Amino acid sequence: MPIHEKASTLMIFICLFAFVLEVARKKVHIEWRKNLFIFSILYLLYVGTSVLLSDNIEFKWFEQKASFLIFPLLFSTAYKYNQKKILTAFVYGCFVAYVICFVLALKNSLVFESGNISFNPLLNESRGFGFFKSMIYEGNYFFGLHFSRLIQISYFALYLAFAISALMFRLEGFKGKYAIIIIFVIAILQTTSLAGIINLFTVIFIAVLFNLKSTTKKVFIVFGCLGLIMLSTRYHPKINATAIGAYKTLQNQNSPEYPKQPRLMTWKAAIMAVKQHGMIGVGIGNSQKALNKEYSKIGFERGSNENLNTHNQYLQILLDCGVLGLVTLLFILCTLLKKTMYVESYEKPFVLCFFLLIVISFMFESMLNRYVGISFFAFFVSMLLQQDNKIRLN
């Protein structure tokens, strides 16, 4: 569930404590699974390179990456976890989180004045922007970071897209299934996360690919989605502004209305830093310093002022841990992709969908730099890889 980091951390340690008690009482026994052992290597690479290469060592590095050890351990038992129950709980958690965000947005939008109640979701209406266009410039309580109050918008959108895939492919008898899917689609649009919208179209594409038998219908829906994307680029305020801003950033023709696109600038700086340090990395403690140095070179003051990371997990792990870190991460992704080849047919779309959601999200976010990203990745990859990759089709 997308809840506060401290509450989630507490719940994880409660689960770990309960697990240790069960092992001590011999209620469960550990079965080391080679598919999950790779997480330990990733943890050691993060910690090892940071200890050896960073100027200062901080305990929070060990704590933040601890999910790479805890979740694989919890899933390394003879006990077979009920995936449907886990996914059902996750869907309910996302729904509760959305309700909380919606109620907070509604509360902030209601203005009580002189005994009257008025509805005003705009944070600053002085510039005269409407309900939708305000999501770009002045802010709207029902969109973006002003709406997603529990976790950052990209991660909330990822959680919601994954919840939709769970409802579509694994939770057949879920009550109110289609109503919740519609709510989650609206919620993703409210986050205004472009990565989230791409993930949403990915889920739709996988659903079309696996559920429709007619080739004509598949082609029609795929081209319909492409047309919708093109229309969104033209008429959706956030997507339109981002597309124009990206073009102007590449042409170096930015203006106050279309400033430099942060991701393009962070990627440019990250590539420059990786060219210098990508072979062995610089460690977690020095990666931001290396980025800030490149931000100064390309004149991206916001990057250094706000200590922006690479916003790309592949570049981030190269900078943090070098080539070995990237190879280890790609090995995990390849193992997950291989999993889709050996699971039963009804599981294939779900596992493939999760794989694509992760691959796409890694392109836009340094997921393993944030607790919400690490815990999501480590938990669900461990759950999906819990069973050995054996052909179980008759």
Residue 226 lies in a domain: no
Does residue 181 fall inside a structural domain?
A: yes
Q: Do 72 and 168 belong to one domain?
A: no
Query: 281 and 376 share a domain?
Result: yes
Q: Which of 69-83, 291-305, 360-374 has the lowest mean pLDDT?
A: 69-83
How far is it, in rounded angstroms, from Cα 265 to Cα 245?
12
Determine the pLDDT at residue 285.
85
Structural element, H or E, at residue 392: none
Specify the long-range contacts of residues 269-273, CB closer than 8 Å, at least 24 apart.
269/294, 269/295, 269/297, 269/298, 269/300, 269/303, 269/310, 270/294, 270/310, 270/312, 270/315, 270/316, 270/319, 271/315, 272/297, 272/298, 273/319
Residue 392, token pair as written in the block: 């179980």
Q: Do 387 and 269 share a structural domain?
A: yes
Q: Is residue 243 part of a domain?
A: no
Domain that holds residue 363: 1-79+262-394
Most confident by average pLDDT, 69-83, 231-245, 348-362 = 348-362
- In this prediction, residue 319 has a pLDDT band, given cuts at 50, 70 and 90, of very high
End position of a domain, from candidates 211, 232, 249: 211
Least confident of 86-90, 305-309, 322-326, 389-393: 389-393
One domain for residues 169 and 95: yes
pTM of the predicted structure, to 2 decimals: 0.88
> Are residue 87 and residue 164 in the same domain, yes or no?
yes
CA 38 to chain centre: 21
Residue 324 inside a domain? The answer is yes
Spatial separation of the C-alpha atoms in residues 34 and 373, rounded to whole Å: 23
Q: Are residues 59 and 101 in the same domain?
A: no
* pLDDT value of residue 392: 39
75 and 93 assigned to the same domain = no
CB 71 within 8 A of CB 379: yes
pLDDT tens column, 176-232: 999 999 999 999 988 988 899 899 999 998 988 887 777 777 777 777 777 877 776
Give one DSSP letter per residue of 189-203, joined into a string.
HHHT-HHHHHHHHHH
Residues in the chain: 394
391: pLDDT strictly greater than 50 = no
Same domain, 315 and 371: yes
Residue 65 and residue 87 in one domain: no
Within-domain flag for 192: yes
Do both 113 and 134 map to the same domain?
A: yes
**Residue bearing tokens 């305000």:** 134
Final residue of a structural domain among 147, 176, 211: 211
- Report the number of distinct structural domains present in the chain: 2
CB 310 within 8 Å of CB 323: no
Question: Which of residues 146, 177, 211 is at a domain's end?
Answer: 211
**Are 68 and 88 found together in one domain?**
no
Structure-block tokens of residue 49: 């390179």
Same domain? For 57 and 88 the reply is: no
CA-derived radius of gyration, the chain:
22
Residue at 95 is within a domain: yes
The string of pLDDT tens digits covering residues 261-301 is 788 899 999 999 999 987 888 888 899 999 999 999 988 88
Query: Is residue 249 in some structural domain?
Result: no
Query: Domain for residue 327, yes or no?
Result: yes
Q: Can you read off the two tokens belonging to residue 105?
A: 């947005």
Each residue's pLDDT tens digit, 110-160: 888 777 888 888 876 655 566 666 666 557 888 888 899 888 999 999 999
